[in-house]
Structure 1
Amino acid sequence: MTEQETFRIRLKVRHYELDSLGHVNHAVYHSYGEVARLELFEQAGGGPGRTHDERLAPVMLESHISFRRELRSGEEIDVTCRAKFGDGKTFRMDSGIYKADGTLSAEITCTLGLMDLDRRKLVTDPRGWFERSGVDMKLLCGE
């Protein structure tokens, strides 16, 4: 799937998200990524209603961000997101934050797991659970 077909959401940079240098505070980039992840899960059918009914929840285990270009107040941005599954209990979700002109502003890579809220342990096969639950894997993974 091409980058143009990857899930994306448009956001606007707000003045209260700026730091003393006049550009977006570093922690806010993580919030932008979180908005995209949650919206993607919801649109793919794996949002809080479905997972919480099963007493499961995606949990963040690690997050890494690379800053490329600054963002300033009033700019509109596109935040992309897609999941990548392998073997094991964890999966990745990658996001790109793009200025309106297509310039990459930041890249975020997160490692997540699907936690059983009663056992407080990660589910062994998160991809399998999403598939069996009817989550739109094509949307979630950009396949």
Structure 2
Amino acid sequence: MTQREPFRVEIKVRHYELDTLGHLNHAVYHSYGEVARIEAMDRAGSAKLREENVSPVLLESHIVFRREIRAGETVYVACEAKFGSGKTFQMTNNIYKADGTLSAEISSTLGLMDLELRKLVEDPRGRFERAGVDLSVLGAE
């Protein structure tokens, strides 16, 4: 049995994203995670949620740095979602160097916000499914 590959995007590190030590600035790692989350959501069909005036919202993010990333490198940012009970769900982003070395692990808590009421909706997984979002793109089982 083979395990499904997670959704991932390729990003080339730009010089202006570096800090004074010559490696990727800590805040940019979070931006790379956001790029992967947005692209994964778009690919999965989350635009259907916007028609219902609902949108994913980031509530918390935590990063563990493993290996430095430097200018000119290409990295791959993987993205996977995990749903449980309640109003929130988890997403993880692993950032890999081109040679497969794990550079960072980002764990995030998200919810689906009703954009009119400005409150989280119940059962985000069910809401995704009812809107026809392809959760397999997000790695959800």
Task: State the TM-score, normalizing by the size of structure 1.
Answer: 0.94
- Which residue is 1:105 aligned to? 103
- Which residue is 1:83 aligned to? 81
Alpha-carbon deviations, 1:79-124, whole Å to 9, x = none?
Answer: 0001100000000010000000000000000000000011111010
In structure 1, runs of 5+ residues without a counterpart are none
User: Greater helix percent: which structure?
Assistant: 1
Distance in structure 1 (CA, Å) of the matches to 2:87 and 2:74:
35
Aligned length: 140
The residue type paired with residue 50 of structure 1 is K
Distance in structure 2 (CA, Å) of the matches to 1:68 and 1:141:
23
SS of equivalent residue, structure 1 residue 80: strand
Distance in structure 2 (CA, Å) of the matches to 1:11 and 1:120:
32
TM-aligned CA deviation for residue 142 of structure 1: 4.7
SS of equivalent residue, structure 2 residue 137: helix
Distance in structure 2 (CA, Å) of the matches to 1:132 and 1:57:
14
Aligned-pair Cα RMSD in Å: 1.2
Q: How does 1:41-120 map onto structure 2 within 5 Å? A: 41-46=41-46, 49-120=47-118
Task: State the TM-score, normalizing by the size of structure 2.
Answer: 0.95
TM-aligned CA deviation for residue 52 of structure 1: 2.1
TM-aligned CA deviation for residue 51 of structure 1: 2.4
The residue type paired with residue 136 of structure 2 is K
TM-aligned CA deviation for residue 141 of structure 1: 2.3
In structure 2, runs of 5+ residues without a counterpart are none
TM-aligned CA deviation for residue 57 of structure 1: 1.1
